[in-house]
Every structure is written in C-alpha cells, then in structure tokens.
C-alpha cells in the first residue's frame, strides 16, 4: 500500500488514495463510502462545469443538494481529459493512487490513455474499478441505459404489477446503488485485502445489471430447480399469499402486513378477530379479499393501537418525511451528522451503511470545483 500522510489516522482506509473519474450516482456513492472509511478521494471533474450533479436542483447554497450529499469530504481536481497535458496530470495522480474508479462506457478510458493495462504498467498495485450498466463485454455492453432499463432487463420490474397488469415504476435506484455502488466498494475492499499478500492490484468489472440477479435469489432457485419461474401476484413475496400484502384502511392509508410464519399469522388473525381465516392454503385469493375487507373497516391508527405489542409484522406505510421523523430512527441517530453549504446553511448527511466504530468524519462539505488543483497537481 502506498504510504501517505492522512488526516484519517486510525480509520480503516487511512493512507488509501482514490482517484475517482466517475460522475452522477454509482461511482460517487462508492467513493463517498470509501471517504467515510478514511480514504483520501480525489474527484476528477471537467473544468467549468464539473460533475453534472452540480447543476441539479434543488439547490444547497450555490451548489446542488445531490452533489453535496454524494461528494461530502472529497477533494476536487478539474482536468480537461481531452487535453494531452491534463491526461498526463491524471496519469501522475494514478501513479500514486491505490484505487481508480471510472464509470465510462467500455473503451473510453483506453481511448483517453487511462485504461487498465496502461495504468497497471505504471502502477502494478493499482486496484482499478470500472462501473458500467452491462459490463465490459456482452451484447448490451455499449447500450445507453438507466436504472429503469436494468430493472426491466433483469426481470425485477416484471415481478410487481398493478391491478391493470402493468409493471410499476420503481422509485428506488436499485441498480445504481445495490447493483453498482455497494458491490464496487465491496470488491475494492477485497482487492485491497488481496493486495496485502500479493502486492498486485487487479481489474474490477462491476456490471450493475449482473448484480441485480442475487436480489431475486428465491426466484432463480425456484426456476432453476423446479422449473417454476415466479409470476407477479403468484408467489410468496409477489402477492400470492394474504400473509404478505398491502391492505387499505378506511382513512386512505395502508398497512404493510407480513405475518408469514404461522405464529405471526395466528396473532394477526387474533387481532382481526377472524380465526375462521386461519387455513389460507386452499383459497389464498379469497382469504386475501376477506382480510382486505376487515382492514378496510378501521383507520390506520386504530389498527396500530390494536396491533401494539403484538408480534404480527404489521406496519403503516409511511411517507419519507414521516420515516425521517420516526422516533426510532431519531433515537438511532441516523440524521445526526451534518453537511454545510458555502452560504452556511446545513442539512443532515446521508446515513451511510458504515458502522460508527469504523467511520471517519470525512469533512463538513462537498468540494468547490477544482479547489484541490494547486495541491494535487504539484509536480
């Protein structure tokens, strides 16, 4: 591992330097996680405009909320990679780096002179992580796409449909985060660990679409082993049982009910005063309708009171604002840490999935464009 002076002394990734060429979401989230574990992250951006996220709304000070949340604690280096001099400056940064992250389509970094083979030649210990939608090879490798496309192509979207049979529009960027950022960080950490023994880095091919398949492990197992591929509304977690459903209350709210195990199902029906519905195997559709009719007779708060203290796996579907204000998450301190803007305003930082004893406070704000150029580009 390259020896460097770091303000993150004692943090798990203290002394690790990351050169991050990525923009928008998957790569920046990955490097944000690394920064919060103590790594020094140099974010390479276009001069003048920078990461496209900087222009997003809503604004946070003179910048963007999106950019601030995803780039807190990093350092920005502005380089025009179309200029040979800037490429050489980037090469010099990579020569001293432990990790490189990029998010271009396959072949772009090679054309810039910053591809893996070229970088390995000057820095054999480099961990080079390339994040793409479809991977470095394959029929779809060069196709433009977004999260919606990855969820469509991998079958995830087809498992949830509305009453009209149309797939629902996902509201969580699962491919970018669960398929991209998190596997990228995990593989980078594994590569750094392996390097301790071999002294050699490696190339990491993160394909966001590939990494969605483990999320439906149960469906793959059913299909591969029994030839029973899941269908929307027909399986345990896709609506095929009354024990895993969303039920409407009489005040227009919804209960998320998941009493899958028999003991929870019995408790659930006891609160509903409907023991006659206990045997749901013979007619799951009919039982589901009967349960829905009972739930529709009371308000969400009334049901919460009735289920209070009962192990039945029942929750009210909350808005994001309600969830943030929940006493439980407030007690957990999820939104305690703050991020500042250039005008002095503050908001909570992202509650990243790094346990507190391993977390390093990377900084209170996101970097101004190119603010690290004078220091980082010294020859």
Number of residues that make up the chain: 379
235 is catalytic: no
Closest by CA to 202, choosing from 111, 134, 107, 130, is 130
Q: What is the largest CA-CA distance in the chain?
A: 79
The yes-or-no answer on residue 328 being catalytic is no
Average pLDDT, the chain: 94
The residue from 146, 311, 343, 375 that is catalytic is: 146
Catalytic residue (choose from 176, 210, 235, 280): 176
pLDDT of residue 282: 87
CA dist 35 to 16, 41, 198, 313, Å? 9, 6, 24, 36
pLDDT value for 18: 98
Candidates 313, 144, 133, 262; CA nearest to 209 is 133
Helix (H, G, I), strand (E, B) or coil at 347: strand
pLDDT tens, residue order, the chain (379 aa): 333 334 577 899 999 999 999 999 999 999 999 999 999 999 999 999 999 999 999 999 999 999 999 999 999 999 999 999 999 999 999 999 999 999 999 999 999 999 999 999 999 999 999 999 999 999 999 999 999 999 999 999 999 887 788 898 998 999 999 999 999 999 999 999 999 999 999 999 999 999 999 999 999 999 999 999 998 888 898 889 999 999 999 999 999 999 999 999 999 999 999 999 999 998 999 999 999 999 999 999 999 999 999 999 999 999 999 999 999 999 999 999 999 999 999 999 999 999 999 998 888 899 999 999 999 988 5
Structure tokens at 96: 């001293």
pTM for the whole structure: 0.94
**DSSP assignment of 250-266:** TTS-EEEE---SHHHHH
| Sign, CA torsion 334/337/340/345 | positive
Q: Reduce the DSSP state of residue 348 to 3 states and report it.
A: strand
- Domains in the chain, ordered, with CATH? 17-208+338-376 (3.40.50.10540), 254-316 (no CATH)
């Amino acid at each position: 591992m390259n020896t460097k002076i770091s303000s993150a002394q004692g943090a798990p990734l203290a002394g690790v330097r990351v050169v991050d060429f990525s923009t928008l979401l998957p790569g920046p989230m990955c490097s944000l996680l690394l920064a919060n574990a103590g790594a020094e992250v140099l974010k390479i951006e276009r001069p003048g405009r920078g990461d496209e996220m900087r222009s997003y709304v809503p604004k946070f000070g003179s910048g963007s909320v999106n950019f601030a949340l995803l780039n807190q604690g990093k350092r920005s280096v502005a380089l025009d990679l179309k200029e040979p001099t800037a490429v050489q400056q980037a090469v010099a940064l990579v020569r001293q780096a432990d990790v490189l992250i990029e998010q271009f389509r396959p072949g772009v970094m090679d054309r810039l002179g910053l591809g893996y083979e070229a970088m390995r030649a000057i820095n054999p210990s480099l961990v080079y992580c390339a994040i793409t939608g479809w991977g470095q090879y394959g029929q779809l490798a060069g196709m433009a796409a977004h999260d919606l496309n990855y969820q469509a192509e991998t079958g995830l979207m087809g498992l949830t449909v509305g009453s009209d049979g149309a797939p629902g529009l996902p509201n969580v960027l699962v491919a970018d985060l669960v398929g991209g950022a998190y596997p990228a960080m995990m593989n980078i950490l594994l590569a750094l660990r392996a390097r301790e023994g071999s002294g050699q880095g490696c190339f990491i091919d993160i394909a966001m679409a590939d990494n969605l398949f483990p999320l439906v492990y149960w469906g793959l197992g059913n299909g591969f082993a029994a030839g029973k591929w899941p269908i929307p509304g027909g399986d345990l977690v896709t609506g095929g049982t009354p024990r895993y459903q969303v039920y409407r209350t009489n005040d227009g709210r919804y209960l998320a009910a998941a009493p899958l195990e028999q003991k929870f199902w019995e408790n659930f029906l006891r609160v509903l005063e409907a023991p006659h519905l206990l045997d749901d195997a013979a007619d799951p559709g009919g039982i589901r309708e009967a349960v829905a009719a009972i739930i529709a007779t009371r308000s969400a708060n009334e049901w919460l009171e009735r289920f209070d203290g009962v192990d039945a796996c029942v929750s009210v579907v909350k808005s994001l604002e309600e969830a943030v204000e929940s006493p439980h998450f407030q007690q957990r301190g999820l939104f305690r840490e703050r991020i500042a803007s250039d005008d002095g305003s503050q908001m909570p930082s992202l509650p990243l999935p790094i346990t507190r004893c391993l977390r390093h406070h990377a900084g209170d704000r996101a970097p101004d464009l190119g603010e690290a150029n004078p220091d980082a580009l010294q020859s």
